[in-house]
């Protein structure tokens, strides 16, 4: 990865589009978490609210109204998504942002604190590195890159 410096006067506030979603492969490299073109939107507001939606574009269509989907189809759809909302706290000194989950696709995530290391690869490109997951495990193997859509 190229040597990058944090851009001055950058802010997380805005709407971000997911560019890549990678997981360490154990051999010093990385591979896509789902596929090469994940879909996602991340929103940070000035009043410390956060909303995140991430999807695997390969999820098959359900073919029925979602309330009537089969258990097997629901399981496939559920595995290919992550979504939650809540509040966030920024710690610029530690270069971390903590998401405090209030609502989520998985009820087990509610109340979780998701710690992300962050750095700006450019003024409008953000890297988030998962430090703690929703199941409270420490991690550093998942890296997400986001491009700013709006401020």
Residue 102, classed as helix, strand or coil, is strand
d(CA 70, CA 72): 5
45 assigned to some structural domain: yes
8 assigned to some structural domain: no
129 assigned to some structural domain: yes
**136/61: higher pLDDT:** 61
Which letter does DSSP use for residue 60 in this model? P
1 assigned to some structural domain: no
145 neighbors 15 (Cβ within 8 angstroms): no
pLDDT at 134: 66
2 assigned to some structural domain: no
d(CA 48, CA 118): 16
64's tokens: 């029925």
40 assigned to some structural domain: yes
pTM exceeds cut of 0.85: no
Mind listing the pLDDT tens digit for each residue in 32-80? 888 888 899 999 999 999 999 998 888 777 776 777 777 877 777 777 7
Q: Find the CATH number of the domain harbouring 136.
A: 2.40.128
pLDDT at 88: 97
d(CA 64, CA 68): 6
Total domains in the fold of the chain: 1
pLDDT at 9: 44
| 24-33 mean pLDDT | 81
Mind listing the pLDDT tens digit for each residue in 81-132? 889 999 999 999 999 999 999 999 999 999 999 999 999 999 999 999 999 8
For residue 51, give its domain range: 14-150
123 assigned to some structural domain: yes
For residue 74, the tally of other CB atoms under 10 A from its CB is 12
């Amino acid at each position: 990865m190229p040597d990058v410096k944090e851009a001055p006067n950058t802010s997380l506030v805005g709407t971000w589009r997911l560019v890549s979603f990678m997981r360490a492969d154990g051999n010093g490299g990385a591979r896509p978490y789902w596929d090469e073109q994940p879909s996602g939107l991340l929103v940070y507001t000035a009043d410390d609210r956060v909303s995140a939606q991430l999807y695997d574009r390969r999820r098959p269509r359900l073919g029925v109204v979602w309330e009537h989907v089969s258990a097997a189809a629901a399981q496939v759809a559920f595995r290919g998504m992550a979504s939650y909302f809540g509040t966030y706290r920024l710690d610029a000194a530690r270069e971390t942002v903590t998401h405090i989950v209030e609502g989520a696709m998985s009820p087990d995530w509610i109340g979780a604190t998701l710690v992300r290391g962050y750095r700006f690869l450019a003024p409008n490109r953000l890297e988030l590195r998962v430090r703690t997951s929703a199941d409270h495990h420490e991690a550093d193997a998942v890296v997400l890159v986001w491009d700013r859509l709006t401020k």
